[in-house]
Amino acid sequence: MSSSAKIDRRFDILRTAVSIVIALIIAFILILLATDKPFDAIGGFIVGPFQNLRRFGDLVGYWIPLVFTGVSVCIMHSSGQASMIMEGAFMTGAFLGQIVCLQIMIPVLGQIAAVLTAGIVGGILAFIPAIMKYRWNANEVVSSIMLNNVLTNVILFLVNNFFKDSKQGSNQTPRLPEEMLIPKVIDNINIHYGLFIAIAVLVFGYFFLFKSKWGYAIRMCGRNMDFARYSGMAVGAVILYSQIIGGIVAGIGGATFQLGMLDRYTNTSVINYGWDGIVVAMLANYNPLSVLLSAFFIAYIKKGSDVMQSIASIPTQVSMIVQAILIILIASKLFLEGWRHRAIVKNAERELAKEGN
Amino acid sequence: MEFLASLLAPDFFAAVFRAFVPVCFAALGGLITRRAGILNMALEAMMLWSALLGVIFSGYSKVWFPDLPDVACLLIGMVAGILAGLLVSSILAFFSLKLRANNILVGIALNNMADGGSCYLMFLLLETQSNTETLTSFQFPAVNIPLIQDIPVIGPILSGHNLMFYLAVLAVILVYIFIFKTPTGLRIRAVGENPDAAESVGIKVLNIKTMAVLLSGFVTAFGGMYFSMGYMNFFSRNMTAGRGFIALAAMNLSNANPIGTFFASMLFGFCDGIGTRLSTLGAFSTDLIKAIPYAVTMLALILYAIIRARKINKIKSAR
Amino acid sequence: MAEEMKGSVQMGDDILVLENITKVYPNGFVANKDVNLRVKKGEIHALVGENGAGKTTLMKVLFGIENAEEGRILLRGEEVQIKNPIDAIHKGIGMVHQHFMLVPSLTVAENMVLGIEPKKGGLFFDFEEAVRITEEVSKKYNLIVDPRAKVEDIPVGNKQKVEILKALLRGAEVLILDEPTAVLTPQEIKQLFVELKNIAKMGHSIIFISHHLDEVKELCDNLTVLRLGKTVGTAVVADVTEQQISKMMVGRDVVLKVEKTPAKPKDVVLRVKNLTIKNEFGKTIVDNVSFSVREGEILGMAGVEGNGQVEISETITGLAPLNNGEITVNGETIKGKSIKKIREMQVSHISQDRMTYGVAADAAVWENIVSDRFYKKEYNNGVLMNMKKIHEDVARYIKEYLVKCDDDGQAVRMLSGGNIQKVVVAREFSNSPKLMIANQPTRGIDVGATEFIRKKLVELRDQGVAVLLISADLNEVLELSDSLIVMNGGKIAAYLPDASTVTDELLGEYMLGVKTMSEEEIGRVAL
């Protein structure tokens, strides 16, 4: 690789690393403010998730849905569209997962039907902002966020009026019996067989986006839509199917999460995985294979903040704040640009001097 | 029938105006940046922080200086709220304008950070993450306009609303004057439509854009403060509930015109009011009602896009 | 090689002198070398030259957009440094750009005073005062515009008036007009000339950049000719013919001969009939053009840029819709067909806009090369792409087309301009085209890459491909083409069946509208 390309590559990694460090420093400051046992808290944050199998299981429990939403964002945003529908598709997927299983009380068949339904509906939901963009050039960011809000309320309505657990307070569905859930790999630990579905989705995501003609078209549209059009690609169709497939993945993720981790559906237990998917995808540089690692990192932060809450009562919002900081820093193209520019110039001078000899 | 009659009652108008106020302020904020060519996705963040910090400062100023009159505490809270809006907007400006981050991502990140951060701050100060009810805080008062309030039928409809409602109406007028009747407003419009043209006559495009974003934070802050210092006297988690995006839709529908924004915001207030009215009648579930503003926003987006597409087609076929 | 021709009209002193301006771009390209320009007060001075002659660069130096390496600028006899466009405006130099710097939704008056807005009450914009100022300037120079009209509602000619008034309002003593007639209708052009002559009479100097020699003859007092970055000569317009100007403008320093055997053209591949294209303002850009290109032939399309060449190439390749006329490839019409379908008819396209259309700069070399064929059966095993075959073929192309890159995964952005173009050529040439539309294929790239690409074009032609070569580079269009059409004013000005017999002089005359062929002679190219 040429030396200036090496510098560029090095700086991309440096920028990500510095962003992570800055985000964590701010997190630590927030922790300091919240407790008089900061080192206990920070210790719990860093080491906690690995201290016992149960905690690690929880971490994996977080990792699984983040893989789904991360891959979903990789696919959707690589085409240049900024739809946020994965949040709503995930939630709807979870809801449908629970409901379908409740209706079809047949083991195995129920779960499969649930996950499939969730995927299909997720795709349909993602289609809505996509077609609004395609037909009327309506901003997909606003329309998808609005649709997310509509879904939240509609689902709440359905839960409270048709699927309520009459023995409990509002906003909950009845429990699913164990045979209708996705079984755990190890008893009482949150590592469930959904893990394998997640890995399958990861692999699918990678091959789809990087080894198939559809994924290639998605990525070229995202890089330069004029070029894609000039080369003969049907840009409008690409926008549509990239969103639909992303929606399917998010829907499947929701159902898998619900049936693997929970036995009752409530809105509040399935929120934010979609938004988290954005950071996961950004850290992975929109490559599904790297989502393996970046989803793990975000899951780690989430579990770490859970541990901090139980040790020192620090709100779990810390992880949300860390993720937001990461997004802002990583998205800043000119972050550390001064250093990078100087490094490139110095390198160019060095190269010229070499040639002169 | 009874339902329709109830729509004419002052109560209903009050509900409409209540929903109108924050949307109007935020829409005006979004309008100012839109005129400068920027899509402001961080309206939620601006409102959440100004709502929270306004309450905190007005409440704590009474706690620390018990002799201060309530009005002074309220004003301190207001200043804090404005500064909060300015702070968020300056972060947006710095990262998206200076460091060239994608302003949609920065906006979304700021919104999420505001949601989490506001809960965190409540926790730090009040040891709760749900609301600030434990802190006594102050509200902007309702205003009874003399003379007008005595006019039959119309009087009760126009008078008696919270001060911020009247401020919102005033803001519409002020923003209109600013955008269309001042030199700075002219420059903002030039920068938003053709930055090269502005640059060619010596206007510093980056400065104008930054100013527009900061101004947007200032105006939107009032929308946020209305939640916690006008409508209620406390802040609760995620109080703004997506109003920032509804405001964007209202602004789009009016094509970034302040007068149109006034009507579009009223329209959303109306939908909200109808929804509340319907839910008290028990006709529909509250949950479905809550979905109405968002669904209407999506329809508004489609409508706006269709209108814009027709306009472009008209120009094309005129050749 | 400077030629001073007879006499010089007394017009007042030199108000502007550009002395020995040399400008070299960072990539080594010498845009201006020792260029001299003298303009007197009250003079309309033509600056003529082909594309790439250095006129735009010289004006960029004058207007402060670029800095010259050597040379100096004298205004009113004193040497000045022009740091940036705002500085230029303050010093009395005004530029009327080809692409108008106007804000469409604002009124004329508001555009006029943008940046120097009159205020009332310290806070408010005084619109009435802006109207008054506009009317005052408008009357003074007899350029009538409606101050209250929105710019988006006024015709193109009036938009240009506003641009001119803007510059005059800001105190421009020297006005630069860059190809002002390109967007105007004939009536508007007549009007413009009346207005410009009037402005000059009032003591302002005008630098008129154009390649329309008839206009230069009608409007200008003196002229300066640039060619290949150097001043070729100056003259009094009244004392020279269009032919003489053309001879000074068009001509190669070095004739780069290309080795090729005579063409053996066979059947017609591309047939264009009665093609008419209007632009968004309704102006006719391509006027009833008909021509055909045959198998095994390179038909060159010469002409100064902006005479319809881009529009023609975009319509043939599907980037722009075909509204008026017929275009067939091997008998099959392209009307209504998608770009993909047209490419599948074995039509390849080198776009003149390399970075916008030709490549995705952040994507890898291999991704750029297979963008027109990635979906085909040969590159896909069922659901997945056959990466092995893709990389094999790409490796072959990289070797064959001498693309200098670290590996096929390198981002195209990292390559030199010449190598980026070779990536484009590797793609467009390797898909077995029957028709090749090459628009400015060697613009802005190094000599080595240029020679290579030209060689490849001749190879294609020898293999039986029909090539339409659109180029503003004389060497390219004269040496590579077998036959030649010349575009001027949206029409074909000439058809020259044997490019090897065409002199620079003759080509220049057709390009610049000094001469036009009869319709009958031109019609032969459509057969």
One DSSP character per residue, B49-82 reads HHHHHHHHHHHHHHHH-TTS-HHHHHHHHHHHHH
Calculate what percentage of chain C has a pLDDT beyond 70: 98
> Under an 8 A CB cutoff, do B319 and C282 touch?
yes
- The pair phi, psi for residue C206, each rounded to 5°, is -125, 130
Cα angle C268, C274, C276; round to 5: 125
> Under an 8 A CB cutoff, do B187 and C115 touch?
yes
Write the pLDDT tens digit of every residue in B122-139.
988 888 888 888 788 888
Confidence (pLDDT) at A288: 96
Confidence (pLDDT) at C3: 40
Whether C83 and chain B come into contact, CB under 8 Å, resolves to no
Per-window interface: B 196-225 vs C, CB < 8 A: 196-198, 200-203
Q: Name which of A224, A235, A286, A344 to mutate to probe chain C: the one with the most chain C Cβ atoms within 10 A of its Cβ.
A: A224
Distance from chain centroid for Cα B319? 41
CA dihedral C396, C398, C402, C405 (to 10 degrees): -150
Element (H, E) at C236: strand C230-236
Which stretches of C82-155 are DSSP H helices?
A: 85-90, 108-113, 127-141
Structure tokens at C288: 């009833």
Query: A154, A137, A243: which is closest to B295 by C-alpha?
Result: A154
Structure tokens at B90: 């300056």
Whether C171 and chain B come into contact, CB under 8 Å, resolves to no
Structure tokens at C178: 């860059």
Asked if pLDDT for residue A273 goes beyond 90, the answer is yes
Answer whether C433's CB lies under 8 Å from C346's CB.
yes
Q: Residue B7 carries which side chain, given as an amino acid letter?
A: L
Q: Name which of A18, A327, A329, A330 to mutate to probe chain B: the one with the most chain B Cβ atoms within 10 A of its Cβ.
A: A327
Range of weakest confidence among A294-308, B147-161, C6-20: C6-20
DSSP A192: B
C17 bridge partner residues: C38, C74
Write the pLDDT tens digit of every residue in B246-290.
898 888 888 889 999 999 999 989 888 887 777 777 766 777 877
Task: Give the 3-state secondary structure of residue C215.
Answer: helix
Confidence (pLDDT) at A185: 76
Structure tokens at B93: 């400006």
Better pLDDT: B161 or B285 = B161
Write the pLDDT tens digit of every residue in A108-139.
888 899 999 999 999 999 999 999 999 888 88
Tell me the C-alpha distance between B292 and B275, whole Å.
Answer: 7
Q: Name which of C357, C369, C394 to mutate to probe chain A: the one with the most chain A Cβ atoms within 10 A of its Cβ.
A: C357
Better pLDDT: B310 or B189 = B189
Query: A108, A110, A86: which is closest to A100 by C-alpha?
Result: A110
Confidence (pLDDT) at A351: 76
Write the pLDDT tens digit of every residue in B207-242.
999 999 999 999 999 999 999 998 888 899 989 988
Chain A residues within 8 A of C357 when measuring between CB atoms: 226-227, 230
Chain C residues within 8 A of A2 when measuring between CB atoms: 406, 414
Confidence (pLDDT) at C407: 86
Tell me the C-alpha distance between B5 and C417, whole Å.
Answer: 73
Domains of chain A: 58-295 (1.10.3470.10)
Confidence (pLDDT) at B2: 66
Parallel, antiparallel or unpaired: strands C222-227 and C78-80:
unpaired
Band (B3; pLDDT cuts 50, 70, 90): low
Band (B181; pLDDT cuts 50, 70, 90): very high
Nearest to A211 among C351, C372, C384 (CB): C384
Confidence (pLDDT) at C5: 38
Asked if pLDDT for residue C477 goes beyond 50, the answer is yes
Tell me the C-alpha distance between A185 and A192, whole Å.
Answer: 5
Range of weakest confidence among B180-184, B305-309, C35-39, C79-83: B305-309
Nearest to B110 among A282, A324, A332 (CB): A324
Tell me the C-alpha distance between A68 and A273, whole Å.
Answer: 9
Nearest to C119 among B183, B187, B319 (CB): B183
Q: B-C interface: how many C-beta pairs under 8 angstroms?
A: 62
Task: Give the residue numbers in C contacting A (CB under 8 Å), as ranges.
Answer: 319, 338-340, 342-344, 349, 351, 356-363, 367, 371-372, 374-375, 379-380, 383-385, 387, 406-407, 410-411, 414
Domains of chain C: 1-92+174-249 (3.40.50.300), 101-172 (no CATH), 256-346+433-527 (3.40.50.300), 359-431 (no CATH)
Band (A170; pLDDT cuts 50, 70, 90): low
Mean pLDDT of all residues belonging to chain C: 90
CB neighbours of A47 closer than 8 A, spacing ≥ 6? none
B206 bridge partner residues: none
Band (B188; pLDDT cuts 50, 70, 90): very high
For chain C, which chains pass the contact test of at least 3 CB pairs under 8 Å? A, B
Band (B316; pLDDT cuts 50, 70, 90): low
Phi-psi region of A272 (alpha: psi -120 to 50; beta: other; left: phi over 0): left
Write the pLDDT tens digit of every residue in C160-212.
999 999 999 999 999 999 989 888 888 889 999 999 999 999 999 999 998 88
Confidence (pLDDT) at A350: 81
Phi-psi region of C459 (alpha: psi -120 to 50; beta: other; left: phi over 0): alpha
Question: How far off is chain C from B181, nearest CA to CA, in Å?
Answer: 5
Q: Residue B233 carries which side chain, given as an amino acid letter?
A: N
Element (H, E) at A300: helix A288-312
Write the pLDDT tens digit of every residue in C356-366.
999 999 999 99
Domains of chain B: 2-317 (1.10.3470)
Q: A-B interface: how many C-beta pairs under 8 angstroms?
A: 144
Calculate what percentage of chain B has a pLDDT beyond 90: 48
Nearest to A333 among B100, B119, B249 (CB): B100
> Under an 8 A CB cutoff, do A146 and B245 touch?
yes
> Under an 8 A CB cutoff, do A212 and C384 touch?
yes
CB neighbours of B106 closer than 8 A, spacing ≥ 6? A327, A328, A331, B41, B42, B92, B95, B96
Asked if pLDDT for residue A342 goes beyond 70, the answer is yes
Q: Residue C448 carries which side chain, given as an amino acid letter?
A: G
Please report the DSSP string for C303-340 in residue order. --TTSSHHHHHHHHHTSS---EEEEEETTEE-TT--HH
Per-window interface: A 188-247 vs C, CB < 8 A: 207, 211-213, 216-217, 219-220, 223-224, 226-234
Whether C178 and chain B come into contact, CB under 8 Å, resolves to no
Tell me the C-alpha distance between C470 and C309, whole Å.
Answer: 7
Chain A residues within 8 A of C374 when measuring between CB atoms: 213, 216-217
